[in-house]
Structure 1
Amino acid sequence: MTSPTPRTLVVVTAGLSQPSSTRLLADRLAEATRRPLADAGAPVETRVVELRDLATDIAGNLVTGFPAPALREAVETVERADAVIAVTPVFAASYSGLFKSFFDLFEPTALTGTPVLLAATGGTARHSLVLEHAMRPLFSYLRAAVVPTAVFAAAEDWGGDGDPLTDTLPTRISRAAGELAALLSARAGETGPRAPSEAAEPSAEGTAERGSSGLRVTPFAEQLAALRPR
């Protein structure tokens, strides 16, 4: 019996310190995503892209336009991922410049259809809207399949009972990871790793000829021609 092909889960973390609460949150999300899949016999290979280690290469690419080999490899790793967890610290109510500069390297179609879980860390829960007003639009632009639940961890979330009016951090991690695991599980039946070519735009011919139901769709030009007087 052939063993199932492992799915690749890539974790992108933009934490600057060591140790980092951003990396801690990323690790917890990755483990919560991987565990149920592994228990169900769907192996997952986790790879971590630590942007702190690529900061110099990212800055160099901004001014030269030529990515260093390590940076190019990191971008290709994310592009080939079956799912991505993206975590950033929050500065001035938005994602970090390092995080944004890294994802600026991607073509608009590079993550088309890739399941993505968004998360962020900050000193206060007032920064939590960064998930919706900054991060979600960024990954929508990259055409990723962003899971509904995003996770924000404020300083108070790491200890104590947290805000009684909101779910605890473990609850939010579990929910978001479950959503990502469900999408990743759907990919477990596919054969072979995801290639960047899957992110290419559909051809104009294909979209003109077939609708979502598989039935032929009459091109708009034909419809106009049928209305012309004869």
Structure 2
Amino acid sequence: MYLHIIGSGAGGSPGSKRWRAANLLETDGGLVVVDCGVGCHYRLSDRGLLTEIDYVFVTHSHMDHFLGLPEALFQAHIEGRRKRLVVVAPKIVARTIEAASPHLLKNINYQLEIRPAAPGPLLELSGLRVEAAQACHHTAEEAYAYRVESGASLVFTGDTSPNCEPVRRLSRGVDVLVHEATCNEQNAGVCSKYGHTTTLQAIAEADAVGARLLVLTHIDEGFNPTVHKDVERTGRKDVIVAEDNMWLRI
């Protein structure tokens, strides 16, 4: 399984060099996108993947996590997509796509299936299994973390507060934990207010669940400008700071 970090940023930093949240997984059961923030369709299109993606999972309804999805759906049509695409998302995301692009859903040349996200198993195929748990992100109507298994295992927390028991249960013994790190410790109050996690809190979460590798993402460069230095100070070799266009073999 391969992980491609398409966008490693958060929504609150205008001018950030990090694109909004988006990830791609190459699995034995197909190509999986988790979140699709603004601009994700450009990088997917550049790699010729918009016509090849099999599944899209959206963690929650905040715009930095799904606003690129309507563009991706339409651009896939423009590029000649014919194969079915399954989108799994909170109900409000599905309603937003349908309200914003009613013509899109009627005129695309491929089958688009939108399923509601919910806690529990969502997909079980040969070579690919996906399970969801409720994340602790109180500023969103629905928020989910996703565990993907395809040989190895990986969890995307999406946006979440620390000490979130459903996310911890989902993440037990995971090979790779992709955890948000919106703030540094100096801005921990901001994270607490809006349901996010700091760098050191994310490291503690990885330790609590026994993750083999931690990938820090959803980094707000305004509230977490010290993420690299903070990780270096820990001396940890099992913690990686995500960067846009980073590839990892899992």
| Superposition TM-score, scaled by structure 1 size | 0.36
Higher RCO (C-alpha under 8 Å, 6+ residues apart): 1
More helix by share: 1
More strand by share: 2
